[in-house]
A and B are shown apart, each in its own frame.
Chain A
Amino acid sequence: MPAVSKGDGMRGLAVFISDIRNCKSKEAEIKRINKELANIRSKFKGDKALDGYSKKKYVCKLLFIFLLGHDIDFGHMEAVNLLSSNKYTEKQIGYLFISVLVNSNSELIRLINNAIKNDLASRNPTFMCLALHCIANVGSREMGEAFAADIPRILVAGDSMDSVKQSAALCLLRLYKASPDLVPMGEWTARVVHLLNDQHMGVVTAAVSLITCLCKKNPDDFKTCISLAVSRLSRIVSSASTDLQDYTYYFVPAPWLSVKLLRLLQCYPPPEDAAVKGRLVECLETVLNKAQEPPKSKKVQHSNAKNAILFETISLIIHYDSEPNLLVRACNQLGQFLQHRETNLRYLALESMCTLASSEFSHEAVKTHIDTVINALKTERDVSVRQRAADLLYAMCDRSNAKQIVSEMLRYLETADYAIREEIVLKVAILAEKYAVDYSWYVDTILNLIRIAGDYVSEEVWYRVLQIVTNRDDVQGYAAKTVFEALQAPACHENMVKVGGYILGEFGNLIAGDPRSSPPVQFSLLHSKFHLCSVATRALLLSTYIKFINLFPETKATIQGVLRAGSQLRNADVELQQRAVEYLTLSSVASTDVLATVLEEMPPFPERESSILAKLKRKKGPGAGSALDDGRRDPSSNDINGGVEPTPSTVSTPSPSADLLGLRAAPPPAAPAAPSGAGNLLVDVFSDGPAPQPSLGPTPEEAFLSELEPPAPESPMALLADPAPVADPGPEDVGPPIPEADELLNKFVCKNNGVLFENQLLQIGVKSEFRQNLGRMYLFYGNKTSVQFQNFLPTVVHPGDLQTQLAVQTKRVAAQVDGGAQVQQVLNIECLRDFLTPPLLSVRFRYGGAPQSLTLKLPVTINKFFQPTEMAAQDFFQRWKQLSLPQQEAQKIFKANHPMDAEVTKAKLLGFGSALLDNVDPNPENFVGAGIIQTKALQVGCLLRLEPNAQAQMYRLTLRTSKEPVSRHLCELLAQQF
């Protein structure tokens, strides 16, 4: 093939490029570029119409300038003009410019889309491909909106050329990734799956990528792809090295397609059909066998392509995790690679073995390679390979090899790259704790960590060692002895001083018998470090000193002298000063008994998940450790979590416990009293049966807000059917709801308690509980002024049909509300059948003689009568299918109004009332829920699915219920919450 002679050489462009290359300095380059920009601008602005060639040349120059890193703010229009040229190269340059410099100027997007539309309709495959490439390159939402519906049609049309199909498949993939909501699933999906059978390998190659992406969200729709993929793969794997002609790459048949097919299969569990499965296992074995055959070529491309398939095969075997034989073979194969001369293969083998180590079938086989891996950690020259080796050691560690692995990792730490030290420290700390048989080894290990890499030992690590030593009395003496020895080093890390200070303060007495570590020696050793330490450490040491006064009365005078020194009592740091003053006073006033009680040994810490593990998870990836977040707890939660014997004295002592708050990895176990009380209350009230009790006991204000005023005298209770005494005034008497009413209502869809309304005069608070089809709501009306409200009359109104759907029974409240006072109103609610609009709450009163009135929507929505239902994935899908009539489904796609946080979303869905079902949706990002709406007349089963798309900041919400209006209504309600 001749060299570039054929191109559409643009001489002016080449001259410009070589000018730029000849520029000696950045300034010269900028000068040359500015000159060119001025020239192009004048050409574009000139009255003489430019011919296509010149336009193409200038647009190309602009593109070049942009790619050099300069901003381009004109020329877009000329590029768009090129799109409608019928000369191919002009069109091509136009598309390239648009693809690289896309800009969300809506006017232009419309023009661009128009040009694309024309090319797609042109039936000229080369033009169609250009247009598809452009859509795929830009991938913007606007383009998705314009073309997402057309492209599937092009993709499956019988008369589309192969090259067009290929481009269409990947174009659709890009649009789907960017805006999944815009790509409608439909009849075409089945035909896309059958592209796996296409004769043209290129079409299959493109289609597999599309199917792999689509099936992740819609596994059921694409299930038939499994058997097709297996048979395609089988044909490739068993073909001779030249069968596939140009699709053979360095004697490897269709490596890209093979890898993609293996990836596709990883979206599904092992095939259920025994024949398909058998065929697949055969394929996997063939790949493993081929790895043992001598290479057909010495070229690295040959071995890379072959091994790419091998590694993907191993990934699939690990994904299935069900074929012990294959897992062990995979492990042996990787073992061979561990000593391969290609660094790349060693790297990948280490990485892949990490996942094998977690399978019960191959864990032991992985362990046999420990020496090779340790050797890799020591001798690999590339840090990224050493990192993989460290990861693998961590993954293969268990009780049998923990000592060896921990000591190797400690040794590695001495020379490890700074970037990975903290991670290694965390891993060592975790392994040492997890597999400690004797805790003296654990203590030694952590102290070694501090010695070797003190700067990388985070708080979590040294807090944890204190926690463990405190909880295990068999190791306390050893710990005291060891820290004492460690502190004797002339230069020791501040973290060592912290650990040493704390442990000696608690357990120094255990080694005090030895004259070499007598109390005065311990004290002077610690105090010799004092002046070199930070404020936090010094504060900790002061607490150690006061503990010493209790442990060793003989040190009292010395320590009081230290505390009394001007440098402590008048320390500029308020914490140090306060500790010095208080400890000094405590030591002088308190009797020995009091001192002994106050400074008692710390109680054991409650067992909880290691905060170190949480930290490692956080480091390893967002989301992984969110459930374990050990955010600092409010110090007031101290006594809740205080431990086994939370004597007030121990807790209130300003002992080093203050420094340990960071240990609290779990939220305080004791829930606030009020909500649980309220829950019980509701059970009591309604336990007798679904019918509401005609007379309720005294209002249990105790359970809610104890500072409430006593409730107003009750009005005679009316029967539900006839709430006469507080009869609704009728809609005509009630004004329309205030404009914010809907927004206020929305706030209560997912929660039951809160402030419903507030202005300068009045605050209305809500507390409510719902069970089955019944609810009880407390409304609190607070007078914010100092003047009495008169003729205070809150009433509940049922507009329209609501009367027959919802029964709300209210009690009258006192007609006067004093300034600053709060009155409470109780509402008993019964849901008779499904309803769409909430009741209205009308509040009327006179303030300073002027009549006031206010209408709100009462926060009673249909979802309040939700009863969560747990079910297994299988049941869920079965029910989902049963509700497949179009009118049973409501779907909404909407932009996120709040940050997309999975935990918040979960909380909202639970608040909404449905159960959250794990392990149902194959995509763990998605949420699936189920519940039953309980009304007196009927029950409505509801299934919901929420699919967040973080990239697009969008959600898709799907509701299926047996009643159409309920689906729609729930969908509306819930969609506003995110």
Chain B
Amino acid sequence: MSGQTVPADFSGHMLDLDEDEDLEVFSKNTSLADGSPMPNSPSSMVNQYRLEEDEEEQQDANAKDIFVTVDNPESHVTAIETFIMYRVLTKTTRSEFDSSEYEVRRRYQDFLWLRSRLEENHPTLIVHPLPEKFVMKGMVERFNDDFIETRRRALHRFLNKISEHPILSCSQHFRVFLTAQELTSHKKQGPGFLSRMGETVRAVANSVRGLRSRPEEFTTMQEYVEDFSNKVCSVDKVTQRIIKEQREYLDEMRQYGPTYTQWAGSEEELAEPLKGVAGCVERCSKETEEQIHHLSEVLVPALHEYVLCAETLKAVMRRRDNIQAEFEAKNEALASRKVDQEALQEEVDALADRVELANNALKGDWSRWQSSMRTDLRSAFISTAEKNVEYYEKCLAVWESFLLSQRAEPSEQRDGEERLIPVMVGHHTSRHCDPNDQTYECLHNLHVHGQKFPLDSSSCCSSCCSSETLPLLWMENRMVAPSLMIVR
């Protein structure tokens, strides 16, 4: 994969660049520090949770000189239709922009326009996908708040992905999109509907004809794209299923609390612990709800994006194949016909160049895309794992505090031998208890470390329990019956 040399003319062909200045911009922007991961774009949802880390990485990595945000969705009502307009804010130091700040309003159609122009001009570059037009599943109402917010985030990511792309971010269409107050005039320029139709027809014709020989690396790429598409779709499905199961679990859990509370109503001594358990269950339900929310907000959109990316990749591969097919067709014609060879030769040469450029563009963009994919999905997975850890930590704390509350009562005790020793709530650690070995496990922050303390130790794990936090009592190692033994 020739990531190493970028012939200047190649860039000239591929970009709608007018001045050399843009070339500079392009080449400088892309030289990222080697070895460091792709900077997490500030736009990705995930990174909003990890901003501090980003700062550091950003220092090292590419000096970003354009920042785009999409926000402030507003409903726009006209006589014919109702649609949402989003505010697109740009801050940049790039010289091809007249000013350093821009604010425009765009609707979804405008994004579609931008993307199709980018794809047209760079058929074998990987242009980040847009959120879908509408969601079939669940019949989400178009102007439902959640839907709008989800779409806004996706649009924000889209623009940021474009602005990070070394070639695409220099596109004049991109610039126009970010800066022009009125897009409609710009939309009319460029290859018309008919020429686009013509291209499609040619593409179909070529695909019917079939390729002579696809270079091996692209075949490998194609296979990868197929597999990747399958895997990402599977992960997406699994995640959706998990959310569904979690929701059902949450629904059932929500009945626990009221039942314990109801029981507490007919008890005297037991009322307090029962209410305690009810409280714990309710708090855990809340945490579960949050965890589900996080899953939907972070992992699902990330996976979904790459499901769409997979489709984009397939389209890119198809387009590349078409370019090659077109060349092959003309080349064959050249070989067979005797008439007007010179003119045809020129055409064939041009097409051959086009093939080479297309291939190089794709090769160049390919590894960039892969790296970007890894970064994004890694972030999303890490965030999910972190959230799950947090979820369990919070639930742990809830139940621990319940345990402490149960031991904090100086209640009726056997022979008044209750001992007050500052220590961790624990439980017996062995199944077939040796009466002489009474060790307790430090429960607090056990995921960090678990230490054992002998029964009469008066010191405790000082690193994880500060004396100001809780009054702690020994949890006596009492068993109700061998059969009711708590097994650890």
Q: A and B bound?
A: no
